[in-house]
Amino acid sequence: MLANPQISPWVAKYAKLIDGSLGPVLDLACGAGRHTDYLSSLGLDVIALDRDEVSLHLLRKKGANCISCDLEVRGYGNGSYVWPFAKESFAAIVVTNYLHRPLFPELLGSIKTSGVLIYETFAVGNEVYGRPKNPNFLLQENELLRRCIYDISDDLRFNCLGYEHGLVNQVAPAIVQRICAQRY
């Protein structure tokens, strides 16, 4: 049992694989910072990123390293999305309850060799249980496997360390898809 029931059991299960000596961890779309706090409590250097200034202000007051950024704004007049990080910047990237498909190539490229991706969000079927219901915000069957393992460029290679798709009943019933993958 986790001390804080708001922490995703998926994140807690795989956070122990993060090698903090590789560099910082990015908590992408961190919201109120439940995983930022948790990962920091493990002694990891965490960067919390979100577009919600109120949440980030509260995290900064607790000493968190925060970046305010709306990753869904198109930039530079070419229609692409702005990813504010260099390649191979992070020991890990943690994402929960967030999906913006155009970011996957940059997100994966920002993980260092031996670094991990811990990703968990809603999937098709969740519309029966609540929000989100919009298919744009629901992963398709095996989508994380395709995006993170099978359909990526030759210069990115990830091993799947864990994958699930199905009903969970953590805070409320939901259909989620989740993956933990390590770059090699």
Least trusted range by pLDDT, from 13-22, 38-47, 76-85, 152-161:
76-85
Cα(44)–Cα(25) distance, rounded to whole angstroms?
7
Tokens read off for 127? 């519309």
**pLDDT at position 173:** 94
**154 — pLDDT class (breaks 50, 70, 90):** confident
Which has more confidence, 75 or 142?
142
Which has more confidence, 73 or 16?
16
Mean pLDDT of the chain: 93
Residue type, 70: D
**pLDDT at position 4:** 53
The residue assigned the tokens 């900064």 is 60
**pLDDT at position 60:** 96
Strands in 90-96's sheet, in edge-to-edge order, are: 65-68, 46-50, 25-28, 90-96, 111-122, 173-183, 158-169
Do strands 46-50 and 65-68 pair parallel, antiparallel, or not at all (unpaired)? Answer: parallel
CATH of the domain spanning 9-183, picked from 3.90.180.10, 3.40.50.150, 1.10.645.10, 3.40.50.1980: 3.40.50.150
**pLDDT at position 2:** 45
**pLDDT at position 73:** 84
Contact 132, 166 (CB under 8 A): no
Per-residue pLDDT reduced to its tens digit, 123-140: 999 999 999 999 999 999
- What is the value of pTM for the model shown? 0.93
**pLDDT at position 47:** 98
Mean local confidence (pLDDT), 29-49: 97
**pLDDT at position 1:** 36
Tell me which DSSP letter residue 66 carries: E
Which helix (H) or strand (E) is 108 found in, with range? helix 104-109
Per-residue pLDDT reduced to its tens digit, 64-113: 999 999 999 876 556 667 899 999 999 999 999 999 999 999 999 999 99
